[in-house]
Amino acid sequence: MKMRPFEPGMERARALYRIPPVTTPGKTLEVCLEGQSLLREADWPGEKRSICVLHRSNATLPETRPSNSDSNVTIHHATLRGNLPYGKNTFDRIILHGTLDQLPLLAETDNPISSAERFIARLIALLASEGILAGCVQNRLSIKNVLRRAAWRFKKFAGMTPPTHNCPLSAFSCHRVAEQAGLINIRMFGLVPNRDAPIRAFQIEPKLSRSIAKRQLLGLKPPLVSRHHYAIRHLLAETGIGHLVDESIFFWGKKP
């Protein structure tokens, strides 16, 4: 999938969530952390949007209120362990833009994979039949994040305090979490250069051939990406794993 590189980065990120086919578009829920909403300022005419801002379990929650800039947007607040303020089968689309990366900050758990699975299962109950849950996560196996984790381990060894979240999901674990939570027809894409300003989305398939991986490189040459980025992707395409190491992953699945 090719995005429009002349558009602002956040507009391209919002456009990602228009791609999954929704049977009856009308009600969308975004679940995010404070200050990280993607849709709060989005222009989606004709759709009712709810934004649920997650807080720690002991937080004092602000009151529910409509958005100051858009009458079709309502902002709710909830804790991760508390009840979400919505009924079952309410939404046609649920969006998690980077939310799963931040769950360890709220869940305070040593098993972020199972925490993500339980969280998605709770959200699936809010979807109408054949509703879509879509999201973006940082790829644990990307070169950038592998190097970042190595730096964090060094800081921990040196007695410094590393970040509390650690990009818990790869393409494989993201697919497994979504499937075990109850989604079907799951699709996965690697995003270039990242989820907040995507230019191109490459479909991720475990058995993707080297010829297809090379073909995906067409149209991704400088100046769309830097020369060293293109060189690294070309080398990884030769090994057959280039589609697994993009910095960000975009996924969606359908409620049965």
In a domain, 236, yes or no: no
Q: Where are the alpha helices (H) located in 108-226, listed in sequence order? A: 112-124, 143-157, 171-181, 210-216
Whether 18 maps to a domain, the answer reads yes
Helix axes 112-124, 171-181, angle to 10 degrees: 40
**Average pLDDT across the chain, whole number:** 78
Residues 154-171: tens digit of each pLDDT: 666 555 555 545 667 888
Q: For residue 74, what is the domain's CATH number?
A: 3.40.50.150
Q: Has residue 191 been placed in a domain?
A: yes
In a domain, 104, yes or no: yes
Per-residue pLDDT tens over the stretch 16-72: 898 888 877 689 999 998 888 898 877 777 678 899 998 877 667 777 666 656 667
Q: Would you say the pTM of this structure is higher than 0.75?
A: yes
Residue 221 inside a domain? The answer is no
Rg of the chain, C-alpha, whole Å = 18
Give residue 35's pLDDT.
80
Give percent above pLDDT 70 in the chain.
Answer: 68
Q: How confident is the model at residue 229 (pLDDT cuts 50, 70, 90)?
A: low
How many domains would you assign to the chain? Answer: 1
**Banded pLDDT at 209 (limits 50, 70, 90):** very low
Position 64 in a domain:
yes
Residue 13: other Cβ atoms inside 10 A: 24
Q: For the ranges 14-28, 88-102, 129-143, 237-251, which has the lowest average pLDDT?
A: 237-251
Residue 179 counted as domain residue: yes
Confidence of residue 210 (pLDDT cuts 50, 70, 90): very low
Give dist(CA 49, CA 59) in Å, integer.
24
Greatest mean pLDDT among 53-67, 120-134, 168-182, 212-226 lies in 120-134
**Residue 3 confidence (pLDDT):** 56
Residue 101 belongs to what domain range? 9-139+165-196+248-254
Specify if 40 maps to a domain.
yes
* Residue 227, pLDDT above cutoff 70: no
